[in-house]
Structure 1
């Protein structure tokens, strides 16, 4: 999976906050502990906590699927834009059997585009937001193509995050103007190809307007294109084209150049400029994105992530489900070997004789001892960890959750299911429960003392 960008980290943090607002607080004891151990300011700790929860609960994978869906949706819209642009060109020029009415052709190529362009600009300038349907369609398609239940909060989280800096308009503006630019470029390409392979005649027609109106309109629209080198029909050509399509080659070329020039100047160039402007504003603005740490959802985390005094003890209820142990710290980040036990009684002599390079962490039999050890392991993760358990006890959900949390702090972990004390026999059903629970956590276990592996890393 690709590395997260700064925007992705903020995005996932907002998604976790929205999820907790709708479904209640997540089981975050370990996430809070790791965030406190990571240090930094409140925003850094909030992000660290959220990213750990997102990784654990599958939201990071859902983000990857959402972005894949966004790319597919954008590709689909781009294909639609290319096909639509080609359709505009065919509709404007026809099959060459009849003369082309230049102003009908111009209306076909630019009319709908100009109406939507004015609507988008008005929305940005006066309403302060972009109401582009194509942009909203893109977000909707992205969510549908993600096909991941964990992606439900991603689109709302992105919108809320971008609204703080009013970046929605620039992201959607880049998308919308870029798609229209692609459509107009497709129309220009097809139009040039048609003109290069077919003979077109150009006329203008009217019932109530005079020829002077069309002369002025044609010359006015061609003024800027002429500065860029596009040809403009002479006044005589314009007046003559009001009666019938001129067969003169120069007239055909002049009208063709005028039509292409008007499309470029009044269609393609505005969309190109707006696409570049929106992209630059989006690119610059996203660097200034940050969490609103004064939001009530984050204010509640302040005491847990930056406590004024350290509290010991675990007060949260056991999680509703267990999560498989993820990869622990890399070998380069850990060192040493550690042996510990969970809730042993006096019938088990403890600790056993240990090699010199193995440390005894004692027996975890209280909330305080668990919290203290977890804090230490987070800061100084061991390379190898053995957790001794008494299989006479039931493997309840809390014990398995603690084992999983301990195992995530070590590079490699083994579970030692201790033999029964002299004169006692282990309950086979209870041992099977331990095996099933450890299989769910994807942890290895042994009935024999794994001290050789603990000392040297192999058996």
Structure 2
């Protein structure tokens, strides 16, 4: 029976995702204690990168093993769903603003009430965002925090609980959260105002509206000055600007002539574009520019205690053998894998054999004997050697008279990840000794869960040539 495992296709992490996951792993270890990472640290040490890159690689490998990478993908999926919900809300809100501004066409439109309906809330929130930008470190706004809350709710993954705090901590440390969430806030408002503009144009094109201004306290001269002041910038872009006589005449009743209606409609559209859409577009581009610049300079703060503790483990000044870390609070399921890069040759080894057994057997030419693993020091030394010089084929001999305990299975999975192909050789008992069928069945079941192929007879042909 033979089963070969293909490597899982993991998404290629970009730089922001690697930094984000590193911060998430740091927070997790601060709350739950250090993770079991001896094999991963050994793989990271072989790469020879700078400490920051090693920490990112370690975090990504731990995330693949423990589920944080999948949780990150779930969180991003939830963030996209939350953004779609908010986009739908923006479209509905924009349409509602335009309908509320013009009404049903049965009564004249008060131009300044219409203008307040279209731009009033936008102006208030824009001033609030600007003050937050100047006075505080975090100016995400209610819309940005709503998006973060929805993203966490839609992720539905217990592993995603620390992703949002880790992201905010990392971005706030570099003062990037205001620009990232600013892109969302201004983008949503830009869509809202664009929807309001399109709805406004559709209503003006299909209905006949009359325009008036009304006031008890202010006179016609004040409205003339205010209207022309607001319309001066839109007029530079080609939008119409009512003259003083038309503005004064509109204070008594809606003018029925077509020129007056077109002039007021063009003025209203121009003010919405110049004082609503263009500022939001400019702020969106500004936040995007600052975000991109900040992401280039984004890095890990290696002075944090969580990262300082990793320095000796990922860039050891000396090799220490025989030190056993404390057991983690939660055990993880061992798994097998394979190493496809730069592998060559064939190696045979054995795990915890009875000293009475004759080992090694007579081997074909070209097969290397790695001996018998009996101690932690031998295990670490062999794993280091196989990690540096991965074999194309690895045959591991096991004594099925011993029970397949968790430590042995974890070692088999770790050894299999150093070779392109691995097979387990379940040795026959000495002559005259029977093999416990129940224990052999336990071995078969455990190896099948590990997805490792096994054989009851010596597969020397496979080890020598790569096939049976």
Quick check: 2:138–2:172 contact (8 Å CA) kept in 1? no
Alpha-carbon shift at residue 317 of structure 1 (Å): 5.0
For the residues of structure 2 that align with 1:94 and 1:445, how far apart are their CA atoms?
78
Is 1:293 matched with 2:285? Answer: no
For the residues of structure 1 that align with 2:22 and 2:337, how far apart are their CA atoms?
22
Is 1:127 matched with 2:168? Answer: no
Offset from partner CA, 1:183-218 (integer Å, 9 cap, x none): 000000010111111111000111121111111110
For the residues of structure 1 that align with 2:138 and 2:119, how far apart are their CA atoms?
24
Q: How does 1:271-350 map to 2 (within 5 A)?
A: 271-316=280-325, 320-330=330-340, 332-350=341-359
Is 1:168 matched with 2:215? Answer: no
TM-score, normalised to structure 1, is: 0.97
Higher relative contact order (CA 8 A, sep 6+): 2
Match of 1:226 in 2: 235
For the residues of structure 1 that align with 2:105 and 2:312, how far apart are their CA atoms?
75
TM-score, normalised to structure 2, is: 0.95
Q: Which moved more, 1:174-183 or 1:393-402?
A: 393-402
Alpha-carbon shift at residue 342 of structure 1 (Å): 0.5
Match of 1:381 in 2: 390
Quick check: 1:325–1:443 contact (8 Å CA) kept in 2? no
Alpha-carbon shift at residue 326 of structure 1 (Å): 4.8
For the residues of structure 2 that align with 1:438 and 1:361, how far apart are their CA atoms?
21
Quick check: 1:322–1:401 contact (8 Å CA) kept in 2? no
Unaligned 5+ segments in structure 2 are 1-9
Aligned partner of residue 413 in structure 2, secondary structure: helix
Offset from partner CA, 1:28-70 (integer Å, 9 cap, x none): 1111111111212211211121111111111111111211111
Q: How does 1:245-256 map to 2 (within 5 A)?
A: 245-256=254-265
Is 1:216 matched with 2:225? Answer: yes
Number of matched residues? 458
For the residues of structure 1 that align with 2:82 and 2:377, how far apart are their CA atoms?
52
Root mean square deviation, CA, Å = 1.3
Aligned partner of residue 207 in structure 1, secondary structure: coil
Q: Which moved more, 1:370-379 or 1:175-184?
A: 370-379
Match of 1:412 in 2: 421
Aligned partner of residue 341 in structure 1, secondary structure: strand
Unaligned 5+ segments in structure 1 are none
Quick check: 2:111–2:213 contact (8 Å CA) kept in 1? yes
Q: How does 1:4-83 map to 2 (within 5 A)?
A: 4-83=13-92
Offset from partner CA, 1:125-160 (integer Å, 9 cap, x none): 122321411111111111222222211111111111
Quick check: 1:314–1:367 contact (8 Å CA) kept in 2? no
